[in-house]
């Protein structure tokens, strides 16, 4: 089973493909789609969608995991993230992917065993679980891989297998 994890954002949109065979996890490809701040927002969103669509066509994942939108105080940040998230959801729908939405707490719990883990703890565990030679950069890429791991764990349950 191959899962694409996404950490949406307009400046940096992290992605990571994680394959699960039994209890073994393997990272296929990961990185980030970056857009310049001076680029018009509609062009930034188009670039994110185009690159994600190309990656989906190339790797043909079975499902896509996306972190649910969560913001505590800064609504200004939430709006561009929500726009990028919409483009990501469009790419999933366009390619008929099973969509798995996970809260930040669920992602951290799945990867580290603790729902309030720090960013550093998540990056460390992603690196260890996927046997990566070095921590993924930027942090958005590590977050996307964490989302993919969490989604793969979710899909590995009997309820998900029965749903599919």
- 130-139 — which CB contacts under 8 Å span 24+ positions? 130/18, 130/25, 130/26, 130/27, 131/26, 132/27, 136/16, 136/30, 138/12, 138/14, 138/32, 139/14
Peptide bond into 149 cis (omega under 30): no
- Please give the pLDDT value at position 75: 67
Catalytic residue among 7, 54, 62, 134: 7
pLDDT tens digits for range 108-136:
999 999 999 999 999 999 999 999 999 99
Please give the helix or strand (H or E) that residue 105 lies within, else none: helix 104-112
The residues near 86 (Cβ < 8 Å, ≥ 6 apart) are none
User: Cα(first)–Cα(last) distance of the chain, in Å?
Assistant: 12
Q: pTM for the complete prediction?
A: 0.93
Find the catalytic residue in 42, 62, 67, 120. Answer: 67
* Residue-level pLDDT at 157: 65
Report pLDDT for 72: 61
So what's the pLDDT on residue 81? 86
Instruction: Please tell me the predicted confidence (pLDDT) of residue 68.
Output: 84
Any catalytic annotation for residue 67?
A: yes
| 140 assigned to active site | yes
Strands 12-21 and 24-34: antiparallel
> Which residues of the chain are under the pLDDT cut of 50?
none
Catalytic residue among 53, 62, 134, 140: 140
Active site residue 7: yes
| CB 15, CB 6: distance < 8 Å | yes
């Amino acid at each position: 089973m191959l899962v694409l994890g996404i950490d949406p954002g307009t400046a940096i949109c992290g992605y990571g493909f994680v394959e699960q065979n039994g209890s073994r996890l393997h990272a296929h490809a990961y990185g980030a789609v970056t857009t310049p701040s001076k680029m018009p927002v509609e062009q930034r969103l188009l670039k994110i969608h185009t690159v994600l669509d190309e990656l989906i066509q190339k790797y043909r994942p079975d499902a896509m995991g996306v972190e649910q939108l969560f913001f505590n105080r800064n609504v200004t940040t939430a709006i561009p993230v929500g726009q990028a998230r919409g483009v990501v959801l469009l790419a999933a729908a366009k390619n008929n992917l099973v969509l798995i939405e996970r809260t930040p707490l669920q992602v951290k719990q799945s990867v580290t065993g603790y729902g309030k883990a720090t960013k550093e703890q998540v990056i460390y565990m992603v690196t260890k679980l996927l046997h990566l030679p070095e921590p993924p950069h930027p942090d958005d890429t590590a977050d996307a891989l964490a989302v993919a791991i969490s989604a793969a764990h979710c899909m590995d349950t009997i309820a998900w297998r029965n749903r599919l």
